[in-house]
Structure 1
């Protein structure tokens, strides 16, 4: 900012010669925040002497800054009315804008300060649809501990989350498989078993330890391409050289579960989508060799993204609480995290 260096030619009396009008560009370039701060305080006081007391400055210093501001603008800002300072029309208008400018700066300072503290601010987290059955409960627990933090979460399939990560539109993502094609950091969050479900009327409901090939004549209900659940099913099929007699693509876990209960077919699906149906006994889990399919929930963020203290605290909360929470929720179904997976995740 430019400061008029001929300070000694200004005096305390505001009734000086009218400054030469300046262009708006010169005016803006000549302003300093300190001048605006002094002007706003002076505009509320009956004299420069009172303003100087409030600002802990000398009266000549206040007068000098006001005169420099008037010189930059090219218009008088104060006049004397009955021995008191009063704003001119230009002063009234500048007072309005200066107050708004200083208020915006104060808001910016508050916002920046919140980024240095882990108990305020906002977080954007994206989750695959299979995680909607437990992630909101974890978010609720977090919000109880940090009520000042705004957590915004979006839901989509794996492809949707990859776009959000690529566009830097989310801070953290919870998904099944980290994207090798993107520069991301992925951390194991919790054991994520997949099981094969069937209607209660399925002839193999009570069978123990049979091969996937026994289901070759069944219709398999699959998620849409781009879904992580679909990718797991296709991997299992390739691994077992398995081709179902018929497959039907459905767009959500809820639709698949309803279709299975209605007897349309069987499906390989995340155990964490089945809490309600298993508790009420509406769906059967088949004891197919190689199941549950061992997968791990991953907490992912862009490697180039600088996580705020709030995000780092939220990340730490998820890493510490997700697995114990899920184990408590699903312990009654007897599908605990295998020991070797637990040991692999303990180093995080």
Structure 2
């Protein structure tokens, strides 16, 4: 293994992430033949196949799965070394890897755009995790420097800093009979069909806890893994839903979805910026951490205020999901 290069390791981890030589080539700005050559040279050094190739389908071999664990560790160590050198040069340049739960994609890119205006030397890479568990895995493997999420992971030693409120609300299609009530008791939701996020979602966990606290058994009509699909279903009149207020701006402004002012809502969680305690942040990551702690709350509050101001008193249970 003495002739294995970091270039080969980076190419290998990208192919393992994409499970596609073509998509890995696009992500790395290389040609597919160049990616194939790097993998073949790496496999020759290791004297083991790392991928099973069947037509266009690519899968890790057992050797590939083991090597991926060590490859990620090596890249994380190299990233730490690069960050240390940047500190010595006092430069806010380099690559910033930010991971986030899917709900945060509605506002984090706009904050990142403002950050880049102030720090044009930083190259920003964004990874949206499908689930909270996937984001925790990205953080643990060192693939992201910072994570934007609700409930910080208890299974990792992290530093989590809250930077903004995260309201959750019930929504209904325009013209729904409950909208005429103004203030809706929680018990009146018991017989209403609900379109909800999947069980692994932090939004779902928060909704389940809300109903448990108020001793109401919800009627789950459908589970969906996407906020966008849920919103379309609500607009089509298929039921009510419980969603992050941050996901609803366009639909509320267009009048396609209405806030349902249920007692004890909005339910408030907090957004956190999270990083591993064991890793030193690069100057770029430290700059973004400071930026979001300083700017995030004011920006989100300005966008939430027109809708929160129209509702009843908020509830704020401890904790919250991601």
TM-score of the two chains, using structure 2 as the length reference: 0.68
Question: Does the CA contact (< 8 Å) of 1:193 and 1:271 recur in 2?
Answer: yes
**Change in CA separation of 1:252 and 1:116 when aligned onto 2, cut-off 3 Å:** farther
Q: Which residue number corresponds to residue 170 of structure 1?
A: 144
Q: Which of structure 1's runs of 4+ aligned residues deviate more than 4 A?
A: 108-111, 338-342
Task: Measure, in 2, the Cα distance between the counterparts of 1:202 and 1:340.
Answer: 22
| Deviation digits for residues 68-94 of structure 1 (CA, Å, limit 9, x no counterpart) | xxxxxxxxxxxxxxxxxxxxxxxxxxx
Task: Measure, in 2, the Cα distance between the counterparts of 1:263 and 1:300.
Answer: 38
| Deviation digits for residues 120-157 of structure 1 (CA, Å, limit 9, x no counterpart) | 11111101111111110000001111111011110032
Task: Measure, in 1, the Cα distance between the counterparts of 2:83 and 2:266.
Answer: 49
| Deviation digits for residues 89-133 of structure 1 (CA, Å, limit 9, x no counterpart) | xxxxxxxxxxxxxxxxxxx99993477434211111101111111
Is 1:151 the counterpart of 2:141 in the alignment? no
Structure with higher Rg: it is 1
Q: Which residue number corresponds to residue 123 of structure 1?
A: 96
**Change in CA separation of 1:148 and 1:111 when aligned onto 2, cut-off 3 Å:** farther
Is 1:263 the counterpart of 2:237 in the alignment? yes
Task: Measure, in 2, the Cα distance between the counterparts of 1:184 and 1:265.
Answer: 39
| Deviation digits for residues 267-294 of structure 1 (CA, Å, limit 9, x no counterpart) | 1100000110111111111110110001
For residue 252 of structure 2, the aligned residue among 237, 262, 278 is 278
For residue 332 of structure 1, the aligned residue among 306, 313, 319 is 306
Higher relative contact order, chain-length normalized (CA < 8 Å, sep 6+): 2
**Change in CA separation of 1:339 and 1:219 when aligned onto 2, cut-off 3 Å:** closer
- Please provide the CA RMSD for this pair: 2.7
**Change in CA separation of 1:278 and 1:255 when aligned onto 2, cut-off 3 Å:** same
TM-score of the two chains, using structure 1 as the length reference: 0.63
**Change in CA separation of 1:328 and 1:118 when aligned onto 2, cut-off 3 Å:** farther
Q: Which residue number corresponds to residue 218 of structure 1?
A: 192
Task: Measure, in 1, the Cα distance between the counterparts of 2:178 and 2:313.
Answer: 29
For residue 218 of structure 2, the aligned residue among 219, 244, 248 is 244
Instruction: Give how far 1:169 is off.
Output: 1.8
Give structure 1 stretches of 5+ with no counterpart.
1-107, 343-348
**Change in CA separation of 1:238 and 1:157 when aligned onto 2, cut-off 3 Å:** same
| Deviation digits for residues 273-321 of structure 1 (CA, Å, limit 9, x no counterpart) | 0110111111111110110001111111111111112211110001001
Number of aligned residue pairs: give it: 235
Task: Measure, in 2, the Cα distance between the counterparts of 1:137 and 1:154.
Answer: 14
Task: Measure, in 2, the Cα distance between the counterparts of 1:218 and 1:341.
Answer: 21
**Change in CA separation of 1:118 and 1:208 when aligned onto 2, cut-off 3 Å:** farther
Question: Does the CA contact (< 8 Å) of 2:170 and 2:262 recur in 1?
Answer: yes
For residue 262 of structure 2, the aligned residue among 268, 283, 288 is 288
For residue 277 of structure 2, the aligned residue among 268, 286, 303 is 303
Task: Measure, in 2, the Cα distance between the counterparts of 1:258 and 1:249.
Answer: 13
For residue 207 of structure 1, the aligned residue among 178, 181, 188 is 181
Question: Does the CA contact (< 8 Å) of 1:224 and 1:251 recur in 2?
Answer: yes
Alignment of 1:12-161 (within 5 A): 112-113=85-86, 116-155=89-128, 156-161=130-135
| Deviation digits for residues 40-75 of structure 1 (CA, Å, limit 9, x no counterpart) | xxxxxxxxxxxxxxxxxxxxxxxxxxxxxxxxxxxx
